[in-house]
Amino acid sequence: GIVEVLSAFGSRIDILVANVGFLIAQRFEELTAEQWQRGFALNFFTHVYACQAVIPLMKQHGGGTIIFTGSDQGLQPDAGLGPYAQAKSAVHSLVKMLARELPADGILVSAVAPGMTRTPLVERLMEGYAREFGTDSKTAEKLELQRRGVPLGRLGEPEEVAEAVLYLATAPFCNGTILNISGGNVRSMTC
């Protein structure tokens, strides 16, 4: 478990980056209870369990920073992404709750909310869209970005998300921040 892994580092953890994403893409009426449970198990409860493991260790050593990977879908969900979008919205809510509870212990909590980023998960999604659209993945990517109305018209790159995580990990006044890095996909006035 995590205790054994961290023993090599003096049982000290300064930064937790909880990064997980599993997409179930179906219309609401087609989703089963098991799909909802799996979506939340993977996209929400993994964050809860990681926090339960590291918060006591962070408290022992005077604090730390927790950064979750949320999603633009947790801020502004698209149709057909129910369990994923709803679980990521719950992650954002968890950030807000922990950001109120943990600062007295020196622990800051924030999240990045990336839009579609060139990851294996999104590449598989684009392959599915390519089959659906009867085209290749590059064309499907372009069509999907147009459909969603993403102003930058491109996928994010993993390095861009990593830069946002690094910023939150080193920003001493960021707490409870949900950093929208969606290429303009999220259009709300508040995040």
The catalytically annotated residue of 49, 84, 129, 167 is 84
Residue that wins the pLDDT comparison between 189 and 86: 86
Give the largest CA-CA distance in the chain: 56
Segment 52-107, tens digit of pLDDT: 999 999 999 999 999 999 999 999 888 888 899 999 999 999 999 999 999 999 99
Closest among 164, 183, 182, 184 to 174, alpha carbons compared: 164
Segment 40-50, tens digit of pLDDT: 999 999 999 99
Sign of CA dihedral 58, 84, 86, 173: positive
CA of residue 116 relative to chain centroid, distance: 11
Segment 142-169, tens digit of pLDDT: 998 998 888 999 999 999 999 999 999 9
Q: What is the pTM of this model?
A: 0.90
129 has catalytic annotation: no
Residue whose pair of structure tokens reads 């009867």 in the numeric block:
134
Residue whose pair of structure tokens reads 């609401």 in the numeric block:
28
